[in-house]
Structure 1
Amino acid sequence: MRYLGLWLGWLLLLLAVPCRARRMREPPPPTAVSRVTPVEHWLRVKLNQFMASDTRTFPMRFYYNDEFAGENIVIDIGGEWEITSGWTLGGLPYDIAKQLRAGLFYTEHRFYGKTRPFNNTEVSSLQYLSVHQALADLAQFIHYIKSDAFERGQFKSGKVVVVGCSYAGSMAAWMRQTYPHLVDVAYADSGPVLAQVAYPEFTTVIIRAIRESGGEECLSRIAMGMKQVKDLLANKTGIAQLSQIFNICTSYETFTDREVTDFLMILTSPLIDIGLVSTYLKLACAVLTNGTAPHPVQRLADLLFALNEMPCMDLNYTNILGWFRNTSYDSDASEDRVWIYQTCTEFGWYQTYTSEHEPYFPSIPQHLDYYLQHCRELFFKDFNEERVRQGVKRTNMMFGGLTHRPDHLISVAGTHDPWSVLAPNASHGHTKSPVYVIPRATHCQALRDSRRDDSQELRNARKAVLDFMYENVYGMTPLSGATHTEATPVLLGLAAAVQFLH
C-alpha cells in the first residue's frame, strides 16, 4: 500500500502522477533527537534468495545508528519507499533501541529507493520482486549483522527486534512468523496481513473517520461539492467551468468515461489522505466548512490545491500510461510502477465501489477491470482477474492472513486507518501476541514521536510496545511492579467497538 506518503494505496496510483511528479514517500520522519549522525551502509545480498546455484548479488542499502549499541539489534524495516536517515534519529524505533541498548538499523526494500537489483524496472527484472525475496534479504541481513564481518561481532549474541508500519509492518509480522530462529520479537504498526482482491472497506473507514472527527457538516460539504461536480460533468458548459476551476491542462468540451473517473480520483485524493496522515482531517474539514469560497466545488478545488503542487491537471491517459511504462529509475514514477507490480502479483487491495460511497466518493471504480487493465497494459498482456486472485490466494496461503498469529508479536491499529480492516484487531490478540486498537488513530501514528495532543490511548499503546519489547528481550518488566498490561484496556475495551472491521 502506498504511503504518499504512505505510501497512498492503489487508489492514488493514478492520482499522483497527473498532478505532479510524485515519488513514493516514507512515513513523515519523527523529530530528530539523536546525538549521532547515522551512517549509510551497503550489503550485497543474493538476487534470487531461493536458488543456491544463482550467485548473482546486488547492493542493499541501510542506515545504522550506534548511539545505544550494546549487543541487541533493532531493525526498522523500509517499505515501498526510498529510506532516509530520519527514522534512525527519533520516533518509537529509536525509543525501543534506547530502552534495549541496541544498535538501530533501517533497511531498504529491494527495487525501491537506491536498492536496485537492476538498472531498470522491466518485467524481466521485476520477476525477482516479491515479499518473499524481500524477507529473505532481511534474513541474510540479520546473519551479516550478527557475524564477525560487522562491528567485529558485537551483535553476535544479541536479540533481534524488527519493527515496521504499513506494508513494512506486514513484513515485520511475517519476519517473526517466517524466521522465528532469527527474529526474537516484532512490532507491526498498521500492517495489513490479509491480501484481498477487491477492497471496498478502505473508503468505508475514511467516511467513518470524517464523520467522527470532522462532523456531519464536513461530510455534507463533500457531498454537496461532489453533486455539483457531477452536474457540471453532464454538459459542455459545465465541463468548461470545471476545466477552469481545476486548471485542467487541455481544454475539453467532453470527457471520456476514463477521463471522468481519473478526474474524480484526483479530486478526491485529499479525502483519501485523511485516514493516512492525522493532520489532514482538520485541514480538510476547515477548508470545506470555513473556507472563503462561496461554492462547494470551489472549496473542493481549494482543498486539492492546498495539498498538491501542480501547474495543471493532466487527464490524458496516454500521458499517464507513459509515466508508468517508463522502466528507467530516472523516472519519477519508477517506485509507483514497482508497487503496482506487487499489487498485481501478490496483494490486490483494489479499492472498489459500494453504494454507501456514492455521495462522497463517486470516483471509486465499481469494477475490478479498471485496475486489472493497468496490470495488462504495464506488465502482462494476458493478465486477468483469475491471475490476481491466484497471487492473493498464494500470499494468504503462505502467511495465513488473519487466521494465524505468531507469538512474540505486538500489533497496533487505528480505527481511522483505512488499512485497519486487513490488519489484526482486538479479537485476534492473545497474551503472547497482543493487539492494541486505538480510537481515532490514523495510519502508522503510534510509530511516530509523541506529541502534546496525543490521546491517552495512543500513549498507552506506545508504552505497551516498549514494555512488550523489554519483557521479550530481557524476560522481565522494565520497572518493578509495572507491566505492559497497563494498556490492556485498549486491547479489551475496544473489542466491541472494532467489530465493524469484520
Structure 2
Amino acid sequence: MGDLSLFQLIVLTSIFIVCANAYIPRFLRGRPKGGFLGSPALDNLDGEELALVESDLPGAQFFNQKLDHFDTQDTRTWKQRFFQSCAIKSKVLFVMIGGEGTANPIWNVKGTWIDYAKKHGAVCLQLEHRYYGQSHPTLDTSLENIQYLSSEQALYDLATFIHTKKKEFGAEKVIIFGGSYPGSLAAWFRIKFPYLVDGAVSTSAPLLAQVNFKGYLEVVQNSLDTFKGTNESCNDAITAANTAIEILLPTHAGRNKLKSMFRLCNDIDVHEKKDIANLFSTLAGNFEGVVQYNKDNRAFEGAKGTNITIDTVCRIMTNKSLGDELQRYAQVNTLMLKTYAEKCTEFKYSKMIDSLRDVAWMSEAAEGGRQWTYQTCTEFGWYQSSDSEAQPFKHSFPIDFWTQQCQDIFNVKFNSTFIARAVAHTNDGYGALNYTQDRVVFVNGAIDPWHYLGITKSLPQAQAIYIPGTAHCANMYPATKEDPPALVQARAKIGQLIDQWLQ
C-alpha cells in the first residue's frame, strides 16, 4: 500500500475521533445494545452442533415496502429485510416480528417458535423492523427522515408483508410472534388486522404507554429481594452505596475517590447536574440489565464465564468481606466493565447526547439507540426514572432528566408536554390495557420489570400466562435442562393454544 494522502489521513483521523468520542450507554431506556430480544445462547453446543446450526442459517431477502403508508400521494419505496426458513412451502405461516434491533437469522433455526413450526410444518418468516438492522427506508436518521419511524408504520409494513406472503404461499393460517416491543406489535396487529392472522403470541409486551415508568425500578427492587443467599439485604446495600456517593460528591477528595473506585472516564464536575444524574443512572443500569434478563438463556457471560444473574450481583452486594457497601457497588461496576471489555465508565451527558445526535447509518447511534430514543419521545415514554420511593437507587435521575433528552437530541419542541400528548395518542390508538381482541396469549415473567405495563391476568377472550421466577422473553429462548417447571409448562400451554388456533 502506498503512502496515504493528506485527505485520507484527515478522513481516517476524523473517523477515529468520532469513534473514540462515541458514547451510548450499554443499557439505554431499558434497551441493551442489540435490542430487547437477544440472540439465543449457543454456548451449550459443541463444535459439530454449532457448525450444523450455522450451516442452516438462511440468507437475507428483501421485500419492497412503501415509505409512508398513510400518504397515498407518496409513492416512494424501500427494501425491507427478512429471513425465511423451516418449510419450503406450506399452508401455515409463522411470522416473527422484528423490533428495535438487528434481525438475527439465528432465530430462524433456534427458539421455541421453531419447535412449534416444525410440529405444524410451517414456513418461518422473520421481518426486520423499519429503521433497524439493514432495513433503511431513508438516507439517514435526520429528524426530517426519521419521521417515518413509528409503530403504526411498522404495523402496516407487517400487514403488507403478510398479505403478500399469504398470497405467494397460498397460506390459510398465520400465527405471529413478538417479544418485548414486538410483543406489543403482535397484540396491536390483532386489533388492526384481525383478518390477516389467526393468533398472536405476545411475550413481555408493554401495552400501556407511560411517560414516567416509576414501576420499573419498583419491580427491580422486588426482583432483587428474591435473593436469599445471606441474611443481608441486597437492596439495603445498594441504597447505602448510593447514599455514600451522595456524601462524597460535594468534595474534591470525594469525587477523586469515586473516579478511582468506579473507573470513571472523566473527572466529575459537580456543577454539571446532568452528568451527576447520568452517573447514578449508569450505575443503576448495572442492576437493571441483570434483573431484566435474569437466567433467560441468553449468552450473557461474565469475565470468567459465569452467568451474571441476580444471585451474582447480590452476593457481591451482601458480602461484607469485600468491603463496605460503596466498595461492593464499585465491584459490581468493575465486573460489568470486564464483561463488556470496557476500559472505563462513561457518564458525560454531553458526550452521550452528541452520539445520539449522529444521523449517519454508519454511526454507533444507528445501532438502534437513536431510533429507540425517537420512538420513546414520540410514542411511548417508558422512562425508568428514580421518582418512586419503593426502589433502592435514591432519586438522582428524575423524569425531567429523561424528557429533557428528547429536546437535547432531536428538537426543542419535543418537550414534556409533547411527550405526554404522544403517549396519550398511543394509548388512545391501541387501547392500552383495555384489550378486547381474542386469539392472543400474553406471556410475562415475574422478574421482568416490563410486566408492570403488560397484561398478566387472563381476560374473558384472551389468555395470560404469568411465569414466576422468569425474566424478559424467557419463554422464547431454546429450552434447557435448567428451566424451572413453570417455564416448561408455559411453553407447553402456548403450544396448545397455537394448536387450537390452527384447527
TM-score by length of 2: 0.85
The 1:174–1:214 alpha-carbon spacing in structure 2 relative to 1, beyond 3 Å, is farther
- Matched residue type, 1:27: G
- Matched with 2:298 is none
In 2: Cα distance, 1:212 partner to 1:127 partner = 42
Report if the CA contact (8 A) 2:456-2:465 is conserved.
yes
**Aligned pair 1:327/2:359, yes or no?**
yes
Letter in 1 for 2:397: P
Which one-letter code corresponds to 1:378 in the other structure?
Answer: I
Distance 1:168 1:9, change over 3 A: farther
Contact persistence 2:57–2:106 (CA under 8 A): no
The alpha-carbon deviation at position 315 of structure 1 amounts to 3.1
Indicate which of 14, 22, 47 corresponds to 2:67.
47
Which amino acid in the other structure matches residue 355 of structure 2? W
Structure 2 partner of 1:381: 412
Note the C-alpha offset of 1:416: 1.2
Map of 1:187 onto structure 2: 201
Q: 1:230 and 2:246 equivalent?
A: yes
Give, as a single letter, the amino acid of the residue that structure 2 aligns with 1:206: V
Please state if 1:429 is matched with 2:459.
yes
Distance 1:166 1:24, change over 3 A: closer
8 Å contact 2:39–2:104 — kept in the other structure?
Answer: no
Q: Which residue of 2 aligns with 1:201?
A: 215
Question: How do 1:390-405 residues align onto structure 2 when only pairs under 5 Å count?
Answer: 390-405=421-436
2:183, 2:202 within 8 Å by CA — same for their partners in 1? Answer: yes
CA distance in 1, matches of 2:385, 2:280: 14
Q: 1:257, 1:167 → 2: CA distance?
A: 31
Counterpart among 271, 286, 293 of residue 287 in structure 2: 271
Q: Show the counterpart of 2:13.
A: none
Q: How far apart, CA to CA, are the structure 2 residues paired with 1:191 and 1:198?
A: 17
- Residue in structure 1 matched with residue 40 of structure 2 by the alignment: 29
- 1:128 is aligned, of 128, 148, 157, to 148
Q: What is the distance in 1 between the residues matched to 2:128 and 2:175?
A: 16
1:465 corresponding residue in structure 2: 494
Percent identity, aligned pairs only?
A: 29
Find the counterpart in structure 1 of residue 474 from structure 2.
445
Provide closer, same or farther for how the CA distance between residues 333 and 266 of structure 1 changes in structure 2, counting only shifts above 3 A: same
For 1:434, the aligned partner's letter is Q
2:260 is aligned to 244
CA distance in 2, matches of 1:86, 1:291: 42
- 3-state secondary structure, aligned to 2:227: helix
Distance across 2 between alignment mates of 1:398 and 1:7: 31
Moved more, 397-406 or 255-264: 255-264
2:389 aligns to what SS in structure 1?
helix
1:424-468 CA distance string (max 9 Å, x none): 011x423x4100111121111111111222221111111010110
Q: Secondary structure at the match of 1:61?
A: strand
Residue type at the aligned position of 1:117 = P
Kindly indicate whether residue 385 of structure 2 is the aligned counterpart of residue 352 of structure 1: yes
CA drift of 1:9 comes to 5.7
> Is residue 38–residue 85 contact of structure 1 (8 Å, CA) maintained in 2?
yes
Question: Structure 1 length as normaliser, TM-score?
Answer: 0.85
| Alpha carbons 1:23, 1:333 under 8 Å: kept | no
Number of the residue aligned with 2:323: 294
Q: Does residue 1:304 correspond to 2:315, yes or no?
A: no
Whether 1:339 aligns to 2:372 is: yes
What's the RMSD between the two structures over aligned residues? Answer: 2.3
Q: Measure how far apart 1:199 and its partner are.
A: 1.1
**Which secondary structure does the structure 1 equivalent of 2:201 belong to?**
strand
Unaligned runs of 5+ residues in structure 1 are 1-5, 17-21, 148-152, 475-502
Q: Which moved more, 1:310-319 or 1:250-259?
A: 250-259
What CA distance in whole angstroms lies between the structure 1 residues aligned with 2:390 and 2:382?
A: 17
* 1:439–1:168 Cα change, 3 Å: same
1:415 counterpart residue number: 446
- Corresponding residue for residue 14 of structure 2: none
Find the aligned partners of 1:146 and 1:7 in 2 and give their Cα distance.
39
1:145 Cα deviation after fit = 1.3
Residue 163 (str. 1) matches residue 187 (str. 2) = no
Given that 1:73 and 1:105 are in contact with CA atoms closer than 8 Å, whether structure 2 keeps it comes out as: yes
Distance, in Å, in 2 between the alignment partners of 1:243 and 1:288 is 20
- What's the secondary structure of 2:322's corresponding residue? coil
The secondary structure found in structure 2 opposite 1:48 is coil
Contact 2:90–2:123 (Cα < 8 Å) also in 1 = yes
CA–CA distance in 1 between the matches of 2:238 and 2:362? 37
Query: Partner amino acid for 1:345?
Result: T
Change (3 A) 1:423 1:252: closer
Q: Return the offset for 1:156.
A: 1.2
Question: CA shift at 1:23, angstroms?
Answer: 5.0
Residue 350 of structure 2 is matched in structure 1 by 318
CA distance in 2, matches of 1:109, 1:272: 25
Shift of the alpha carbon at 1:177?
1.3
**Distance in 1 between residues matched to 2:290 and 2:462, nearest whole Å:** 29
8 Å CA contact retained: 1:214, 1:281:
no
> Would you say how many aligned residue pairs link Structure 1 and Structure 2?
452
Amino acid at match of 2:234: C
Secondary structure of the 1:139 match is helix
Displacement after TM superposition at 1:379 (Å): 1.6
- Aligned equivalents of 2:121 and 2:320: distance in 1? 49
User: Which residue of 348, 370, 393 maps to 1:361?
Assistant: 393
Is the Cα contact below 8 Å between 1:419 and 1:443 reproduced in 2?
yes
Task: Go from structure 1 to structure 2 and tell me whether the alpha carbon gap of 1:344 and 1:217 turns closer, same or farther (over 3 Å shift).
Answer: same
Confirm or deny: 8 A CA contact 2:63 2:80 kept in the other structure. Answer: yes
- Looking at structure 1, the residues matched to 39 and 327 of structure 2 have their Cα atoms a distance apart, in angstroms, of 29
* Structure 2: stretches of 5+ with no match in the other structure: 1-24, 43-49, 296-308
